[in-house]
Structure 1
Amino acid sequence: MNIPEWFQDPRISGIDPAKLSLLLKLAEQVEGKNQREMMPILLGAIASANRQNLQFSGDEFNLIFEIMKEGKTDEEKKKMDAALKRAEGFMKRANTK
């Protein structure tokens, strides 16, 4: 498994290792996938996090997402932002159930 470059960023060193492990597995699963293929994987990751009682704070989530966007083209950033908005909608619905 290739560890993503953003995973080595020192800014994430304060995040719970269990959360980072979940993110690493997620990064491996979504590598090379398009948005449509990613959505079921993201939903599964959200469900898995909920089962493990892992919740990312808004600051943690934003930091991770900003690190992941570094070095991307504007088009890639737009796609990532769109995927984030979809994931946020799913997370809000999942947390209200």
Structure 2
Amino acid sequence: METYDWRQDPLLHGMNPQKLTFLTQMLDEAQTKKKEELMPFFLSITAQARAQGMDFTDAETDMILKVLKSRMNPAEVQRIEMVRKLTGMISKKNR
């Protein structure tokens, strides 16, 4: 069985290499977190990205999620959508 490497997905070609590296590290670390630790972790990562002057556009976020969701089961996709909605609400509130 062939292993899927999401980083090689054609949808991600052209993304800033620094952003792709940051994303890779974030996702690798997220896999070590318990379910209840994910929300605080993602909020912390968002703050770290902003502190580094890194901001993912809506198009880049959509692209990343499309790639990731293609390999997730429905429950995981639902959880990602919930996290995205919550972070979107928090982001709008902080603007």
Normalising by the smaller structure, the TM-score range is: 0.7 to 0.9
Alpha-carbon deviation of 1:59? 0.6
Which residue does the alignment assign to 2:65? 65
TM-score in terms of structure 2 length? 0.83
Q: CA separation of 1:59/1:39 partners in 2, compared to 1, >3 Å: closer, same or farther? A: same
**CA–CA separation in structure 2 for the residues paired with 1:87 and 1:34:** 18
Partners in 2 of 1:93 and 1:33 — Cα distance? 26
- The answer to whether the 8 A contact 1:6-1:67 is kept is yes
Q: Is the 8 A contact 1:35 1:83 kept in 2?
A: no
Shift of 1:32: 4.5
> Gaps (5+ residues) in structure 2?
none
Residue type at the aligned position of 1:16: N
What do the CA deviations read for 1:34-80 (whole angstroms, capped 9, x no partner)?
A: 44211121112111111111111111110101110003222221111
Q: Percent identity?
A: 26
- Distance apart, 1:89 and its partner CA: 2.3
The CA distance in 1 between the partners of 2:5 and 2:81, in whole Å, is 19
Aligned length: 92
Secondary structure, aligned partner of 1:25 = helix
Partner SS for 2:33: coil
**Structure 1, gaps ≥5 residues long:** none
1:76 aligns with 2:55: no
Structure 1 34/81 Cα, relative in aligned 2: closer, same or farther at 3 Å? farther
RMSD between aligned residues: 1.8
